[in-house]
Structure 1
Amino acid sequence: MANTTKQALEQSLKKLMQVKALDKITIRDITTDCGISRMAFYYHFKDIYDLIEWVCIEDAGRALQGKKTYDTWQEGLLQIFEAVLENKVFVLNAYRCISRDQMERFLHKLTYDLIRGVVEEKSQGVKISLEDKSFIADFYKYNFVGIMLDWIRQGMTADPKVIVEKMSTTLQGAVAHSIQNFAEKK
């Protein structure tokens, strides 16, 4: 039931953002549209921005679905780009109305899990600390998020396949090399 309520709120928010700027949408607008009480909204979310964060994470989570290995991370990243593009009006509206810090937080949560999965896989059998693994994942997470934010800021006109291909070319062997460098440093 809780997930059904959240999904109804998500659909109403996305529907309203097609015709209204985020800063003009109220909780009453959302709850009226989907027929859910304000109390139910506040049971699940503290405010509209909390709902937006949940929507972004849910959409990306659905897009990633198991694409967190070295062999599949490019596909997972492409699916994140495609999910963002599929929700272009929603994302651009949110991008214009929320702080860059909030948008970065959303994207950091999405990309960290993807990259951390790759780091874990590539570090199997290598003596490297959890702290160093986290640092490597953070390092690449910031690169991914920076590129995605630039793409969003520029109106999402560049082809996501080309972006992911360039990222893949740039990163070819880089994660494994980073892990090896940390292991040799010890």
Structure 2
Amino acid sequence: MEAQERTRQKLAAAIKEEMEHTSLDKITVTQIVERAGVTRQTFYRNFKDKYDLVNWHFEQLAQKSFKQMGAGLTLREALIKKFQFLKGERTFFTQAFRSQDCNSVVAYDYQCILEFYTGIIQRKLGVEKLPPDIAFLLRMYCEGSIHMTVEWVTTGMERPIPQLVDLLIEAMPQRLQELLSDLGK
């Protein structure tokens, strides 16, 4: 691991520790750099602000999660893995999803999942751009899915994951279910 990557990981670990007892919107860069043992200049060489750090860390986690959602899985299996992953990073996602900042993880997660599903559908249909009706359904579904994910995370993750996943799939428009039922094909 290169030096910049180690520094970023150290800063991510610091903000995660701060999230254990302080809401993300109230955490300061000073708290992060003091906990990480680096300078403010080091922080700003790597990130434009704390939300950029959170989104970078989210991207690292999302890449891991999407790899787990990889080829050969059904939609249900992939979503179960995603929610198990979220539960494994419970504190981080609870704090990140509660943030009211316009650069929040919620918007970033929406974009990631939209791009993930779009890529699958484009490959299955053999097109470079989704048909407008499919794109509309997908955007609407992703908005609702993210909203329900945020609600599940920020209210304590009480609903059992398989039940949550079954409801999310049931809420998916039939045309999308047919295109996304098997993510690996």
Name the TM-score, length of structure 2 as normaliser. 0.77
Q: Which residue of 2 aligns with 1:8?
A: 10
Change in 2 beyond 3 A, CA 1:64/1:177: closer
Amino acid at match of 2:92: F
Query: Quick one: distance in 1 between partners of 2:123 and 2:71?
Result: 7
How far residue 77 of structure 1 moved from its aligned partner, in angstroms, is: 2.6
Q: Which residue of 2 aligns with 1:183?
A: none
Task: State the number of aligned residues.
Answer: 176
How far residue 23 of structure 1 moved from its aligned partner, in angstroms, is: 3.4
Query: Quick one: distance in 1 between partners of 2:62 and 2:30?
Result: 27
Amino acid at match of 1:148: T
Deviations 1:86-126 (A, max 9, x none): 222222223333347734312212311331233123313xx
Q: Which residue of 2 aligns with 1:159?
A: 160
Q: Gaps (5+ residues) in structure 1?
A: 180-186
8 A Cα contact 1:63 1:76, kept in partner: no
Between the aligned residues of both structures, percent identity stands at: 22
8 A Cα contact 2:109 2:146, kept in partner: yes
Q: Is 129-138 or 49-58 further displaced after alignment?
A: 129-138
Change in 2 beyond 3 A, CA 1:143/1:97: closer
Amino acid at match of 1:118: I
Change in 2 beyond 3 A, CA 1:41/1:122: same
Higher relative contact order (CA 8 A, sep 6+): 2
How far residue 17 of structure 1 moved from its aligned partner, in angstroms, is: 1.1
How far residue 136 of structure 1 moved from its aligned partner, in angstroms, is: 4.7
How far residue 79 of structure 1 moved from its aligned partner, in angstroms, is: 2.6
Change in 2 beyond 3 A, CA 1:129/1:73: same
Secondary structure of the corresponding residue to residue 109 of structure 1: helix
Amino acid at match of 1:51: L
8 A Cα contact 2:122 2:130, kept in partner: no
How far residue 158 of structure 1 moved from its aligned partner, in angstroms, is: 1.0
Q: Which residue of 2 aligns with 1:118?
A: 120
Amino acid at match of 2:58: C
User: What is the RMSD of the two structures over their aligned residues, measured on CA atoms?
Assistant: 2.9
How far residue 68 of structure 1 moved from its aligned partner, in angstroms, is: 4.9
Name the TM-score, length of structure 1 as normaliser. 0.77
Query: Quick one: distance in 1 between partners of 2:115 and 2:77?
Result: 14
Q: Which residue of 2 aligns with 1:102?
A: 104
The answer to whether structure 1 residue 33 and structure 2 residue 35 are counterparts is yes
8 A Cα contact 1:9 1:31, kept in partner: yes
8 A Cα contact 1:69 1:117, kept in partner: no
Query: Quick one: distance in 1 between partners of 2:73 and 2:23?
Result: 39
TM alignment of 1:34-183, pairs within 5 A: 34-65=36-67, 67-68=69-70, 71-99=73-101, 102-124=104-126, 130-132=129-131, 134-171=135-172, 174-175=175-176
Change in 2 beyond 3 A, CA 1:16/1:67: same
Change in 2 beyond 3 A, CA 1:119/1:131: closer
